[in-house]
Amino acid sequence: MYILTNAIKNLTRNTGRNVLAAAVIFAVIAAAVAALIIYNTAGGVIADYKTRFGSQVVISVDIDKYVGSNPPRGGQSAMALPQVTAAQSISFADSNYIREYTMRVSKDVTGDDLKAIDEGSGGVFPMGGNTLGDFMLTNNFDDFESGMRYIKDGGPIMNSGECLISEEFADLNGLKTGDKIELFGSMSNAEDGTKRTATYSLTVAGIFYDFTDEYPGMRMPLSNKRNEILVSTETLTSSMLEGESGLAVSAVFYLKDPQMLADFEAEIRGKGLSDYMAVRTDEAGYNRIVAPVEGLMGFTLTFLIIILALGAAIIALLCSIAIRERKYEIGVLRAMGMKKKRVALGLWAELIMISCLCLCFGIAAGTLAAEPIGNTLLAEQTKAAQTPDVPRGPINLNNPRGTEADAIPPLEQLDIRVGTPVIMQIIGMTVCLVSFAGFVSIGKITKYEPIKILSERN
């Protein structure tokens, strides 16, 4: 106990020397705290992105593989690209590896007794020997969630065979809730290519106001948002026979764990996914967002190591000088009968107490400095990571809207987090640092016999 009380007294007895040591320790701690906070925050950001984008599965045509196996002949490109059918998407979603999935299904249809908005303005476009219909049946209700559409009359779809139509479409055709409409769409047999017309008999369950952009694409009836007829997935797939294709499907799967990708791919290959389709996570999007953060993380780690190494060296040197100055004091204590380990413990306790004081101020200063420093460094990394070239990758036919990562801009600001683990790391690091420095300097001095120290002074 007296060792501690004596150590506390010594803090005030050697003010000048201790202030100098404290200044250096404070600088090292503040720099290390800032680096560690940035490093941990960047690590957290990466882990978060990894979970989000690393788990989003993209199924797309491996264009290199496909072109390699189906070279263009006679000046014509073999454009009948493989695709994932609605039935396949549904079966893929039925997997233990999947956390959640979204599936957008649509089908272009015509209606004998129905007029389309913009009818005649764009005509019908032949595509693959077919003509496109005037209306789009879809199960995409995103615009209702975003508030761009809301039901004016009637209610939401409750049963298979019900639909929602826009107010403009209803007015044009004199439709009201409860009315029945008939639509026709072309289906083809995947094996022999024979075509069949599927009939959709629908009841108008509701009419909605539509504030969406009327022409997100070309000005033609099919791409006019007011001509969209919203139905359930069940309604869309119920008219399709086994082995038929004709529905446009866009499915996004989210794995429970990014590590499950290989197992999930093996499973869906077994369920009939074409060899020309690539199964991958959104690596490009992930890299685009995470690369600057990884760069920042690498930079801060290097900085942290340098700071700790330099800090340890400087503190050890400073301690050595301080201990040399106190050689006489140590000699007196040893001559008075104080054991070497107690002398060392006292000196170490002084160093730890100074460090504890510096820790309080260092953590505060480091935390304040971490955010502006981190953001400046991140901006530099983002600038360095930006490349004008877009690398050629697989074509994502099944998710034309792009991945979640595509919609997110690169990180511009770090959300600095200082939790208990970071503080514990800093405390541990500081104790190790000063203990190492203390061990080097104190160990050196305590190996001398007291008579030697005192005789040198005398």
Q: Interface with other proteins by CB under 8 A: which residues? A: 2, 6, 9-10, 13-14, 328-329, 331-340, 342, 449-451, 454, 457-458
Q: Which is nearer to other proteins, 288 or 340 (CB)?
A: 340
Is residue 412 a contact partner of residue 380, using CB atoms and an 8 Å limit?
A: no
Q: Which is nearer to other proteins, 23 or 335 (CB)?
A: 335
User: Min. distance of Cβ 26 from other proteins in angstroms?
Assistant: 23
User: Min. distance of Cβ 442 from other proteins in angstroms?
Assistant: 17
Q: Which is nearer to other proteins, 17 or 115 (CB)?
A: 17
User: Min. distance of Cβ 458 from other proteins in angstroms?
Assistant: 5
User: Min. distance of Cβ 450 from other proteins in angstroms?
Assistant: 6
User: Min. distance of Cβ 14 from other proteins in angstroms?
Assistant: 6
User: Min. distance of Cβ 426 from other proteins in angstroms?
Assistant: 32
Q: Which is nearer to other proteins, 183 or 343 (CB)?
A: 343
Q: Which is nearer to other proteins, 291 or 345 (CB)?
A: 345
User: Min. distance of Cβ 439 from other proteins in angstroms?
Assistant: 21
Q: Which is nearer to other proteins, 395 or 454 (CB)?
A: 454
Residues 6+ apart with CB under 8 A from 109: 133, 134, 135, 136, 137, 183, 184, 185, 200, 229
Is residue 353 a contact partner of residue 244, using CB atoms and an 8 Å limit?
A: no
Between strands 162-166 and 248-255, the pairing is unpaired
SS3 letters across the chain = CHHHHHHHHHHHHCHHHHHHHHHHHHHHHHHHHHHHHHHHHHHHHHHHHHHHHHCEEEEEECHHHHHHHCCCECCECCCCCCCCCHHHHHHHHCCCCEEEEEEEEEEEEECCCCCCCCCCCCCCCEECCEECCCEEEECCCHHHHCCCEEEEEECCCCCCCEEEEEHHHHHHHCCCCCCEEEEEEEEEECCCCCEEEEEEEEEEEEEEEECCCCCCCCCCHHHCHHHEEECCHHHHHHCCCCCEECCEEEEEEEECCHHHHHHHHHHHHHCCCCCCEEEEECHHHHHHHHHHHHHHHHHHHHHHHHHHHHHHHHHHHHHHHHHHHCHHHHHHHHHCCCCHHHHHHHHHHHHHHHHHHHHHHHHHHHHHHHHHHHHHHHHHHHHHHCCCCCCCCCECCCCCCCCCHHHCCCCCCCCCCCCHHHHHHHHHHHHHHHHHHHHHHHHHHHCCCHHHHHHHHC
User: Min. distance of Cβ 18 from other proteins in angstroms?
Assistant: 12
Q: Which is nearer to other proteins, 425 or 446 (CB)?
A: 446
Rounded Cα gap, residues 102 and 89, in angstroms: 10
User: Min. distance of Cβ 338 from other proteins in angstroms?
Assistant: 5
User: Min. distance of Cβ 455 from other proteins in angstroms?
Assistant: 8
User: Min. distance of Cβ 451 from other proteins in angstroms?
Assistant: 4
| Backbone region of residue 325 per phi and psi (left: phi > 0; alpha: psi in -120 to 50; beta: other values) | alpha
Q: Which is nearer to other proteins, 16 or 147 (CB)?
A: 16
